[in-house]
Amino acid sequence: MGTAELGSLRRTLAAGQATIGYLVTMPSVAMVQALARSGVDWLMIDTEHAAIGIETVAAMVGATSGTPVTPLVRVPGPRPELVKQALDCGAGGVVFPQIATRAEAQVTVEVTRYAPVGRRGYGPTYAALRWGMTNIEYLKAANEAILNVVLIESPAGVDALGEILAVEGLDVVAIARGDLSESLGVAGQLDHPRLREVVARAEAAILARPAVALGGIAFAADEARAMIARGYRFVVLGSDAGLISGAAQRMVQAIRA
């Protein structure tokens, strides 16, 4: 295993290669250290739903230093101050939930890029240290290196994909099946015909734009392999909590069988 460089994940995706990673929901440096050596390409630190504050984000991002993974941070929304803090901690990319319009997608690009492309504030000292750069080196590299991931979580977002995909600067557009199922009134029914039709429509739209990687979540290894075979290049393998809970349940069931 090598060491991830700033921009290496973005280059891998741009080359058409598939990547895999875990969602990290526990505010734990030790969890990041354990998962960073599992063979995945990235870890997504969740500050949207999980109780993880910015000081802990900084420590978790720092824990990926010297490992093969790129740290990503899922923010609650495209608020400049939240994105700026995540990136200034050294995150290699930002994940934006609930994107449903071209205007919202455009904002995600603006807040992750320095001028003249965007409006990210300048203060990269800790980001530069995380990636072994000077401030000026980081400033010159960041606009071409930071990964931008948007999540499509509603029928409105699927309907607007034509316009969303036209925004320059998006690297990954991911389909959030769980949220989509809830929006469609079939929460948790991932095989429901209505959800399958909407997901298929979204997949087709994203795959028609090769410059943008198709992303989504898999709930088993076989499903992940099937998704990659269909053209997915950014596959979430589940969460740290799911891994621990599943392993614990299997152990107990095996003992009590």
Among the listed residues 49, 140, 196, 230, the single catalytic one is 49
For residue 2, what pLDDT is reported? 84
Q: Is residue 2 part of a domain?
A: no
Tokens of 217: 């979540």
Q: Is residue 3 part of a domain?
A: no
Number of separate domains in the chain: 1
| pTM for the whole structure | 0.96
Judge whether 49 counts as a catalytic residue. Answer: yes
Q: Is residue 1 part of a domain?
A: no
For residue 1, what pLDDT is reported? 65
Mean pLDDT across the chain, nearest whole number? 97
pLDDT surpasses 90 at 160:
yes
CATH number at residue 171: 3.20.20.60
Q: Is residue 32 part of a domain?
A: yes
Residue 199 sits in which domain range?
A: 8-256
pLDDT in tens, 85-104: 999 999 999 999 999 999 99
Q: Is residue 167 part of a domain?
A: yes
